[in-house]
RNA sequence: GGCCCCGUAGCUCAACUGGAUAGAGCAAUUGACUUCUAAUCAAUAGGUUGCAGGUUCGAGUCCUGCCGGGGUCGCCA
């Protein structure tokens, strides 16, 4: 059930009925014709821009064309009133019969309502978080985690075959540092005195258990080995331990991944995967040996002007060519990135999304270049940049220092305000906007946190059903055919407004998915909750409008159907957002 | 300096991707709790969409140039 698609179809067939369209059929592009809800509800329920878009190619003026189109549409029994307004908008008010049919269809679809097939089962890869496995997740990782996870939920809701993926940066120098830090903790666990953690190593206490575990497993054996020997062993244990911590952090935020892809895998077997990817790029004509100009701005003192293996990314949209091999012969991080993309492409993804923090803005162009070169234009890569989150407590910025180890972890935040609140706050903003996150606002003044507002609406729906179960004790409310009950019963303007809001759901879902904008779901949920709360309160002023009327069981069942539809939409939306849909607020 | 993101109500943000009279929440004022749970609702007030041009039936949205805020720059990861 998608009301707007339905009426788009009706508008298009109305257009085809027009003589002037038939005459010029080939020269006319109907794809710009759209059917939308009017911004101002007083204009009606649906509006189309058809006349304005088509007037020019038809050589007529929009108002006249609009009149002709509306003359055809007028015959449609579901349209109660039609009018031409402004520069040539055609506004339609729909009959209450049509709204009842719409509601009945929504109820009949149940939890499936809002899903669509626009994804067509296509494989799509969403990569997000990808925090370095050197410690617990930082609060800065929250946003990307939530945005990526919710976007992935949204995409699978519209029929994509989504893979949620995490890229583990476990191959760089920072992992050696991690291993050395753990080795220190290992010696500590064996009883050595460790005064102060030397600068350059990770100081956090979270490494202590890893050291103890090593002591338990190996006793003193590692201590006698040269670094070259213990390093791979400690590295393995350390990475596993850090990933365990990270997985737990993610679980606390209700974030999940299907694949954890290790960078080490690319370097394994003498960097087979990277070599193959570079060979592939070379074969496709994107690799050469040459010199790079020094970076603009101040020239680094240790700048080496030498020839190296470069990816000619300037040919595919980048600003500068990118090095693939370091002076010591090892591969750059970027080379691994190329191999990683290559691997994803080989795994059959035609569409890939990277959710990154704003500090990675500089990587967007080169990754797009990689996508273009590796897939020869076949794969679509989208980079979603999440702007920074600034933490506040009671209006004061929270100071964080990573060096002293007193940074705010993701777990701290989730423990303090709850996963639902964190997730909704992170979603209640376009990802391209910076976000201020105030602990005090999120916890104390719950009004400032929209998730409660939405959850409360959902809980209220269930409260109605709890009440109804008492009033209609002789009716099995679970087996009522609400879809059937709705007919002729939902007639009040306030009820219809609510149905109209629900009818937007598929449209919002599709456009949010297409534009990769999960925040739209959060805003829409707020809208639905608002419409529901408003309608609820009308029942307080006018008892006639209450959902439950013990003298009119038939009417009550119809209205319970409406409530059920509201609850279903809220639940679906909340689950896309990765937040819970409580049945009561406590 | 180059590149990327952002400038919308006092504050925090929307605006269906080019549509109509730019909308919500917070803060302010007023009213509704014996309730289908007031974590709610109704109402008032608040605007030269940073500035200047351009594109067209139509611009907060697209293009150009400024102004202001943030991020980023490397054989690091």
Residue A311 to residue A290: CA distance in whole angstroms: 10
* Å: A527 CA to B13 C1': 15
Q: What is the pLDDT of residues A533-574, one digit of tens each?
A: 999 999 988 889 999 998 999 999 999 999 999 999 999 999
Q: What is the pLDDT of residues A223-250, one digit of tens each?
A: 999 999 999 999 999 999 999 999 999 9
* Å: A30 CA to B24 C1': 34
- pLDDT (0 to 100) of residue A437: 83
Each residue of A433-456: b (16+ CB within 10 Å) or e? Answer: eebebbbebbeeeeeebbbbbbbb
Q: Is the pLDDT reported for residue A165 higher than 80?
A: yes
CATH code 1.10.730.10 region(s) in chain A: 449-577
Three-state secondary-structure class, residue A28: coil
* Å: A52 CA to B52 C1': 30
Name the nt closest to A387 by C-alpha to C1'.
B5
* Å: A228 CA to B69 C1': 49
Can you say whether the dihedral through the CA atoms of A327, A333, A334, A338 is positive or negative?
A: positive
Question: Closest residue by Cα to the C1' atom of nucleotide B3?
Answer: A362
* Å: A507 CA to B16 C1': 8
Confidence of residue A445 (pLDDT cuts 50, 70, 90): very low
CA distances from A187 to A176, A184, A195, A493 (A): 17, 5, 12, 74
Closest C-alpha to A505, from A47, A158, A41:
A158
Name the nt closest to A457 by C-alpha to C1'.
B40
**Which nucleotides on chain B have any atom < 7 A from a protein Cβ?**
1-7, 12-17, 19-21, 23-27, 32, 35-42, 57-58, 70-77
Name the nt closest to A48 by C-alpha to C1'.
B19
Q: Is the pLDDT reported for residue A444 higher than 60?
A: no
> In this structure, which topology does domain A449-577 adopt according to CATH?
Isoleucyl-tRNA Synthetase; Domain 1 (1.10.730)
CATH code 3.30.1360.70 region(s) in chain A: 3-94
* Å: A437 CA to B59 C1': 33
Q: Is the pLDDT reported for residue A116 higher than 80?
A: yes
Residue A124: strand pairing partners: A162, A351
Question: Closest residue by Cα to the C1' atom of nucleotide B41?
Answer: A537
Q: Is the pLDDT reported for residue A55 higher than 90?
A: no
CATH code 3.40.50.620 region(s) in chain A: 258-386
Question: Closest residue by Cα to the C1' atom of nucleotide B19?
Answer: A49
> In this structure, which topology does domain A3-94 adopt according to CATH?
Gyrase A; domain 2 (3.30.1360)
Name the nt closest to A510 by C-alpha to C1'.
B16
Residue A204 is encoded by which pair of tokens?
A: 């956090």
Closest C-alpha to A131, from A396, A526, A409, A323:
A409
* Å: A520 CA to B23 C1': 15
Indicate the CATH number of A258-386 among 3.30.460.80, 3.30.70.20, 3.30.460.10, 3.40.50.620: 3.40.50.620
Q: Is the pLDDT reported for residue A264 higher than 50?
A: yes
Residue A97 to residue A170: CA distance in whole angstroms: 61
Of the listed ranges A258-267, A288-297, A398-407, A572-581, the least confidently predicted one is A398-407
Name the nt closest to A360 by C-alpha to C1'.
B72
Q: Is the pLDDT reported for residue A407 higher than 90?
A: no
Confidence of residue A299 (pLDDT cuts 50, 70, 90): low
Q: Please state the ipTM of this predicted complex.
A: 0.96
Helices (H), ranges, A158-207: 173-189
Of the listed ranges A152-161, A303-312, A362-371, the least confidently predicted one is A303-312
Q: What angle do CA A313, A317, A319 make, to 5 degrees?
A: 70
Q: What is the pLDDT of residues A96-114, one digit of tens each?
A: 999 999 999 999 999 899 9
Phi, psi of A20 (to 5 degrees): -65, -25
CA distances from A503 to A2, A58, A102, A167, A252 (A): 7, 33, 7, 39, 33
With left for phi above 0 and alpha for psi between -120 and 50, is residue A247 left, alpha or beta? Answer: alpha
Mean per-residue pLDDT of chain A: 90
Q: Which of A14-18, A271-275, A287-291 has the highest mean pLDDT?
A: A271-275
Each residue of A30-62: b (16+ CB within 10 Å) or e? Answer: eeebebebbeeeebbbbbbbbbbbbbeebeeeb
Name the nt closest to A534 by C-alpha to C1'.
B41
Q: What is the pLDDT of residues A186-235, one digit of tens each?
A: 999 999 998 888 888 998 899 999 999 999 999 999 999 999 999 999 99
Name the nt closest to A328 by C-alpha to C1'.
B75
């Amino acid at each position: 059930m998608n009301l707007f698609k339905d009426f788009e179809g009706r508008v298009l067939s109305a257009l085809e009925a027009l003589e002037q369209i038939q005459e010029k059929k080939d020269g006319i592009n109907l794809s710009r014709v759209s059917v939308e809800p009017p911004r101002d509800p007083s204009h009606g329920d649906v509006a189309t821009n058809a006349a304005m878009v088509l007037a020019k190619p038809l050589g007529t003026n929009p108002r006249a064309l609009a009149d002709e189109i509306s003359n055809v549409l007028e015959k449609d029994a579901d349209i109660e009133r039609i009018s031409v307004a402004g520069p040539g908008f055609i506004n339609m008010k729909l009959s209450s019969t049509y709204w009842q049919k719409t509601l009945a269809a929504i109820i009949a679809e149940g939890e499936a309502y809002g899903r669509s097939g626009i994804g067509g089962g296509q494989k799509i890869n969403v990569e997000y978080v990808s925090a370095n496995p050197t410690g617990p997740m930082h609060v800065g990782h929250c946003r990307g985690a939530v945005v990526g996870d919710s976007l992935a939920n949204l995409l699978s809701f519209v029929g994509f075959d989504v893979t949620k993926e995490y890229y583990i940066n476990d191959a760089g120098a920072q992992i050696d540092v991690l291993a050395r830090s753990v080795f220190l903790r290992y010696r500590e666990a064996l009883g050595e005195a460790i005064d102060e953690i030397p600068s350059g190593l990770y100081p956090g206490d979270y490494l202590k258990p890893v050291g103890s575990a090593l002591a338990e497993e190996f006793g003193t054996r590692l201590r006698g080995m040269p670094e070259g020997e213990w390093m791979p062993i400690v590295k393995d244990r350390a990475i596993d331990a850090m990933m365990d911590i990270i997985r737990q952090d993610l679980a606390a935020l209700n974030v999940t991944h299907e694949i954890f892809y290790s960078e080490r895998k690319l370097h394994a077997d003498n960097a087979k995967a990277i070599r193959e990817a570079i060979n592939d790029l070379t074969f496709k004509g994107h690799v050469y040996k040459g010199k790079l100009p020094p970076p603009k701005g101040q020239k680094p003192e240790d700048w080496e002007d030498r020839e190296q293996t470069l990816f000619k990314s300037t040919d595919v949209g980048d600003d500068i060519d990118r090095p693939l091999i370091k002076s010591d012969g090892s591969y750059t991080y970027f080379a691994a990135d190329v191999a990683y993309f290559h691997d994803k492409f080989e795994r059959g993804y035609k569409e890939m999304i990277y959710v990154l923090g704003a500090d990675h803005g500089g990587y967007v162009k080169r990754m797009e270049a990689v996508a273009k070169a590796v897939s020869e234009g076949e794969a679509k890569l989208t980079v979603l940049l999440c702007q920074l989150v600034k933490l506040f407590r009671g209006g004061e910025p929270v100071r964080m220092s990573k060096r002293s180890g007193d940074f705010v972890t993701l777990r701290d935040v989730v423990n303090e305000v709850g996963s639902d609140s964190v997730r909704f706050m992170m979603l209640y903003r376009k990802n391209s906007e910076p976000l201020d996150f105030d602990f005090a606002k999120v916890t104390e003044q719950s009004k400032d946190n929209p998730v409660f507002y939405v959850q409360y609406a959902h809980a209220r729906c269930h409260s109605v059903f709890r009440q109804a179960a008492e009033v209609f004790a002789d009716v099995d409310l679970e087996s009522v055919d609400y879809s059937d009950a709705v007919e002729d019963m939902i007639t009040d303007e306030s009820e219809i407004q609510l149905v109209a809001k629900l009818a937007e759901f598929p449209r919002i879902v599709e456009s949010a998915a297409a534009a990769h904008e999960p925040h739209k779901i959060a805003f829409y949920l707020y809208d639905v909750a608002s419409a529901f709360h408003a309608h609820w309160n009308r029942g307080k002023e006018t008892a006639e409008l209450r959902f439950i009327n013990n003298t009119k069981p038939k009417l009550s069942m119809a209205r319970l159907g409406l409530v059920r539809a509201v609850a279903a939409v809220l639940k679906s939306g909340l689950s896309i957002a990765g937040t819970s849909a409580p049945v009561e607020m406590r």
